[in-house]
Structures are given as C-alpha cells and as structure tokens.
C-alpha cells in the first residue's frame, strides 16, 4: 500500500457489506477513465487492475458479475464478500490518468503502462495467473538492477546531516499537539494497522486521507492511510501496510505504544512501556 501511495494512488472509496448485500462507496474519481485501481485489504494490496471505462462502471462489474462477465469479476466479488464478513477493511485505491503523458503526438495510457510492472513487483494474491505470467518481467527487472549496481558509474552518496542542521521531524517532535497510548495487540502486529481510539478522533484527519507515520527515531515516514469506516464510532484506524507490520513485529506483543500527533496527517509512534511479566506469560505467574 505504501508504495502505491508514494507514486500517486489515492483512496477513492471502500467496499461495504450491509444485510448480506455488497455495495461500493466511492468518494472520489468515480467518473474518471483510463484508471489503474487496486483492492487493498487492511493495508495489503490484494489485486491490481486497469480499465478504460469509468471507475464506477468497472466497480459495477464486481458488484454484479452477471453470467456473461469474466471469471475475475466472480472471484473478486467472492473474495471481497468473504473478507468483509470477517470484519476486514477493503479499500479501493486509484491512480488516474491525467492525460499529460505523450510519445510524440500519441497519448500514453498510464494505467496500461504501469499495470504489468506493479503486478510483477507487488505480486498481489488475487491476480493469480497474472502474477505467474509476469515472473519473467520481475526477473528481468532484477537483472537490470544488478547490471546497474555493477556499472562503473556510482551515484554520489548523500552527505550526512551536519551538526547544525535541524530536521523538520526533530522540530515536530518538540511540538506534538496531542499524545495517546494503545496496546500492541496480535492483530496490529500481523496486519500492520492500529486503532488510535475515540480520544484521538478530533486530532486526526478525515477518512481516506494520507498520513505520515514516523516510527521511533526514524526520520523517513511510512506513508499510511486514515480509515473512519471500519469502526462503528468512526474513530480512526491507521493503516501502515507491510512496512508498519514489520516494525510492530520488532516489539513484544502487548507493549504500550505512545502515539504523538504533530498534525492531522503526521504522527509518530514510540515504545512507551514493555508488557508486564504477567501479560507476557500468565502461566508462569500462576505456577
């Protein structure tokens, strides 16, 4: 998910299940054409596709597959339903074609040009056969990267920050607008998201807004997303995807995490306290 946000994908909406009926809730970009879209489940990219039709028309095929539609529509309809039933969040991310890319007098379709590369790089689970077909493309990309590393020409190293240089994040760390805490549960560690709580709601951004997540003392943020549809009380759920999941897994389960809010779309997560011995292993305490 983070890599999609980094190249300009936007969260256009969500899939919703009400009374066993599937609905698509599009908040933006519903009438744009030539789109590259992705289904993202709890911060993990599950499917990438493209369409020359409007986003709403293409999502309509998943909503009502019909007897004459492609097998992909049935498969994704079922997958979306199954995950929504389990309480997962299924978001729709979109990279629209702004129409500005040309080769000579010819327009280049951004969605068509990027789809294969993204499927090869991210290997989304629901793309299935598409992923296997693109194994060769991924191998070719790896070989090209290795050739570049073996080239005599080396890019100059980025000079380290001077002692008198002050980073933006260092300044932000001294002026946190609010602080909250939460327990690092198993679901957070395995999924790469967390619920920030009702108290934080007024301090964080709107649904589908991007958020910069600074972890510990890191100066480069993880790009995440604010979701306000997962929780019944509309309190924020922050998705950080695989990058946040990896960092959460370096900490013990049930650690206390401090959430510092610098702005509605910039936060830092810090380890506040390790779990108590009885939280780590209650069986030992009883013995």
More confident residue, 272 or 172: 272
Among candidates 133, 90, 142, 88, which has minimal Cα distance to 115? 133
Q: Kindly report, residue by residue over 178-234, the tens digit of the pLDDT.
A: 999 999 999 999 999 999 999 999 999 999 899 999 999 999 999 999 999 888 899
pLDDT at 92: 95
pLDDT at 66: 73
Q: What percent of the chain has pLDDT over 70?
A: 75
pLDDT at 133: 40
Q: Kindly report, residue by residue over 108-129, the tens digit of the pLDDT.
A: 666 667 888 899 888 999 997 5
Q: Kindly report, residue by residue over 13-49, the tens digit of the pLDDT.
A: 999 998 889 999 998 888 888 889 999 998 899 999 9
The first and second tokens of residue 184, run together, are 């690092």
Backbone angles phi, psi at 245, to 5 degrees: -55, -45
pLDDT band at 277 (very low <50, low <70, confident <90, very high): confident
pLDDT at 209: 92
Q: Domains along the chain?
A: 2-138 (3.40.1440.40), 168-278 (2.40.330.10)
pTM: 0.69
Q: Across the strands, what pairs with 93?
A: 11, 38
pLDDT at 129: 59
Query: Mean pLDDT lowest for which of 55-59, 148-152, 178-182?
Result: 148-152
Within 10 A of 59 (CB to CB), how many other CB atoms are there?
A: 21
Q: Is the Cα torsion angle 51, 56, 59, 65 positive or negative in sign?
A: negative
Sequence-separated (6 or more) residues with CB below 8 Å from residue 50: 34, 35, 36, 37, 111, 112, 115
Distances (CA, A) of 64 to 33, 50, 52, 73: 20, 18, 19, 8
Instruction: With a cut of 50, say whether residue 154 has pLDDT above it.
Output: no
The DSSP code sequence of 216-275 is TT-SSPEEEEEESSSSTT---EEE-HHHHHHHHTTS-TT-EEEEEEEETTEEEEEEEEPP
Mean pLDDT for the stretch of residues 105-110: 63
pLDDT at 278: 74
The first and second tokens of residue 243, run together, are 């990058």
The first and second tokens of residue 152, run together, are 């005599």
Query: Mean pLDDT lowest for which of 22-31, 101-110, 153-162, 244-253?
Result: 153-162
Please state, rounded to an integer, the average pLDDT across all residues of the chain.
80
**β strands within the chain, DSSP E:** 10-18, 21-26, 35-41, 44-51, 90-95, 102-103, 106-107, 178-183, 193-195, 210-215, 222-227, 237-239, 256-263, 266-273
pLDDT at 131: 44
More confident residue, 101 or 234: 234
Mean pLDDT for the stretch of residues 147-162: 37
Q: Kindly report, residue by residue over 58-73, the tens digit of the pLDDT.
A: 999 999 887 555 788 9
């Amino acid at each position: 998910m983070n890599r999609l946000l980094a190249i300009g994908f936007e969260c256009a909406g969500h899939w919703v299940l009400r009374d066993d009926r599937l609905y698509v809730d599009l908040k933006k970009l519903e009438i744009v054409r030539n789109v590259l879209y992705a289904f993202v489940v709890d911060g993990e990219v599950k499917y990438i596709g493209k369409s020359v039709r409007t986003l709403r028309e293409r999502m309509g095929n998943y909503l009502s597959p019909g007897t004459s539609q492609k097998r992909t529509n049935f498969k994704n309809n079922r997958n979306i339903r199954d995950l929504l039933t389990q309480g997962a969040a299924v978001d729709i991310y979109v990279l629209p074609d702004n129409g500005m890319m040309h080769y000579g007098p010819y327009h280049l379709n951004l969605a068509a040009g990027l789809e294969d590369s993204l499927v090869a790089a991210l290997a989304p689970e629901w793309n299935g056969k598409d992923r296997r077909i693109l194994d060769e493309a991924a191998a070719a990309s790896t070989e090209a990267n290795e050739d570049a590393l073996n080239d005599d020409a080396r890019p100059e190293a980025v000079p380290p920050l001077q002692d008198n240089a002050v980073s933006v994040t260092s300044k932000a760390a001294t002026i946190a607008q609010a602080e909250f805490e939460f327990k690092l549960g198993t679901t957070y560690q395995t999924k790469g998201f967390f619920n920030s709580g009702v108290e934080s709601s007024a301090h964080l951004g709107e649904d589908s807004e991007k958020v910069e997540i600074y972890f510990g003392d890191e100066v480069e943020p993880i790009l995440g997303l604010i979701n306000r549809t997962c929780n019944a009380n509309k309190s924020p759920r922050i998705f950080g995807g695989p990058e946040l999941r990896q960092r959460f897994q370096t900490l013990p389960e049930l650690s206390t995490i401090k959430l510092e809010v610098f702005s509605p779309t910039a936060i830092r997560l810090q380890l506040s306290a390790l779990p108590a011995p009885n939280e780590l292993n209650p069986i030992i305490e009883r013995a």
